[in-house]
Structure formats: structure tokens, C-alpha cells
A = this chain, B = another copy of it.
Amino acid sequence: MMARPVVALIASRDSLAETMARIATEVEQALDDLMPMPEGAEARLVEAMRYATLGGGKRMRAFLVMQAAALFGVDRRCAARVAASIEMMHAYSLVHDDLPAMDNDDLRRGKPSTHKAFDEATAILAGDALQARAFEVLAEPDTHSNPEARCELVLALGFASGSRGMAGGQMIDMVAPTLRAAGQPMGAPEITRLQALKTGRLIQFSAEAGAILGRAPGMQRHLLAAYGRDLGAAFQIADDLLDAEASTDDLGKTAGKDAATGKATMVAVLGIERARMQADMLAEQAASHLDSFAEAGASEDAMQAAETLRALAAYVVKRRS
């Protein structure tokens, strides 16, 4: 399992963007391998699953898994499977969020959303089947030689994506207008919680998954979870800032929707300047959790991975798309 330690993920002059692109290619290949086209009439379903998952996105969650796994010298074929599983889960959530009954968005990653490219029923089913495949991949022996580690991955993904995570956060987002109309608008603490559930938990799990794969001591797993939590919070505020400031062309999805729909975001509550300060503060805090990984005694690979994860924290609050 640990036979092929992760090679240096960034060469000295390699930029973060290049490293991200390289890992995106690697995870794309894993996704392709994990969703082969079947023979029967169910082929249309797998086609929709592949459409929703392949060929797009920054793969930030996958990047987190791969880099966090590199901290512990995990075989990168194993890490790529977990990265692919999390990207399937993320993709399913986007497919369902884009449905007419939900956010009703026709554009995703610069392409028609899945229910537009196929149809609503196929999009619902493709999301469902992606979720099942994501859990299945985690439980497969190829993901880790130790079944205890595989169970921990399944448990953590279930927590991150169910009613106490992603789906719960989406629900809070949906009831927010009703609360506002009833004179109970969400303040910064409520929005922070909403975002922690809706997007934060899965990002946190992506970082934590590296520690689970590496059978890391509890304290190190805890530090990675803290890194993922703060990074996720910073990322979400940055995302809301982009929605407020960038163009649809830059984003590859409809821009300016939050303000138009009166969505509860930190930008709406704090204003652009204070929201940006908050995102920067969270990104710095995220990076600080990794201090101990870059200390003397760590392997070259681990030190590079820690540096890359710190660079990512800076990147998520500076990106323009």
C-alpha cells in the first residue's frame, strides 16, 4: 500500500497552477477508469455521470486529498481514488443543485448543466448513482489495505455530505428566504454555519482524508481538519466575492445571481471590503495549522506538500475565477 511514496509534487520553480493542473489530469484519469461505459440501455446514465464529472472544474477537493496524502507518504494511486470519490460527490451535488426545482441554473463549468444536456430525470438519477459510486469506491480494497481506514473514509464522507453536512447546508440555504420574510434574517454566525455545512464539510473531509489514508496520529488528523475547515470558509467567501464582482464568462457559471436572488452570503451581510478581510484572515489561519508539518525532521516530500497546501490557502482568496 505504501510502496510508492508520493514524489515531489512541486518542483522548485513549478507554480501552484501547474501543480493543480497536473493533479487535475491525474484525477481525471482516475474518474475515467472508475466509471467505464456499460453495454446495456443504462449507458445513458453512465454517460450523464461522466458528463457531470469529467472534463472540468479546478479539482480543488482532489488537490487537497492528494497533497494531504503526500504529507504522509501515501501511495498516490490510493489517494487518487479517494480524490475521485470526493469529486464524484461534489459533482452529484452540483447536478442536483442546478435542477429547476433547486437553483435552476443552466450553466456549469462553461457547459450546459446536466439536466440541460440530458433531461431532468436523467440528471436526478445521475446524481444518485454518482453518490452510490463515491461510497463504493471508498470501500473497495484498492483504496486502502486496511478495512478500518476504508470504513473511516465512508463514515467521514457520510457525515460531510448528509443532513449534518452538505445536504443540511443546502436545506438551510433554501429556508433562509422564509426566515428572512418572517423577520429572522441570518447574521454572520448563521451564514458561517450554513457555509460550513454546505461546502465546508466536504472540503474539510478532503484534507482529513489524507490523514485517514496515512493512518496519521489524532493530532495530525485534527490539524488537517482545522486547515480544511478554515480553507473551506475562506473559499466560500471568496466564491461569493467572485459572484458579486466577476463576469459570467470568467466564472463559467451565471454571475451576479446571489444579489439578484437575495441569497444569504457573508458579502451581503458584511459588504465587499469586510468580507474580503474575513476571507484573508481565514486563509492565514488555515495556513498556520500546517506550521508543524514544515518543521525540521519532516521529509522533503512532506515539507513540499505542506508548502503547497499553504500556497493553496493564499490562492483561494486571490483567484479571479
Chain A residues within CB distance 8 Å of chain B: 38, 40-42, 44-46, 49, 92-93, 96, 99, 101-102, 119-122, 124-125, 127-129, 131-133, 135-136, 138-141, 146-148, 150-151, 154-155, 157-159, 161-165, 167-172, 174-176, 179, 190, 193-194, 197
Contact = CB atoms under 8 A, between A and B. Distances in A.
A167 B129 contact: yes
Given A129-B162, A133-B163, A124 B139 contact: no
Nearest to A42: B168
Given A42-B163, A101-B120, A121-B174, 15 more contacts: A41-B179, A41-B190, A45-B167, A45-B168, A99-B121, A101-B121, A125-B170, A128-B161, A131-B131, A131-B132, A132-B167, A136-B155, A136-B159, A138-B154, A140-B155
A136 B158 contact: yes
B132 A155 contact: no
A155 B41 CA distance: 23
5 contacts: A40-B193, A42-B169, A102-B121, A125-B167, A139-B158
Nearest to A123: B101
B158 A133 contact: yes
Contacts of A124: 96, 99, 101-102, 124
Given A40-B168, A158-B133, A168-B45, A96 B128 contact: yes
B136 A147 contact: no
Contacts of A171: 41-42, 44-45, 122, 125
B151 A49 contact: no
A81 to B, nearest CB: 14
A200 to B, nearest CB: 14
B40 A172 contact: yes
Nearest to A164: B38
Contacts of A40: 168, 172, 193
A168 B159 CA distance: 26
A147 to B, nearest CB: 4
A4 to B, nearest CB: 23
B151 A139 contact: yes
A131 to B, nearest CB: 5
B132 A161 contact: yes
B135 A168 contact: no
A170 to B, nearest CB: 6
A193 to B, nearest CB: 7
A91 to B, nearest CB: 13
A159 B136 CA distance: 7
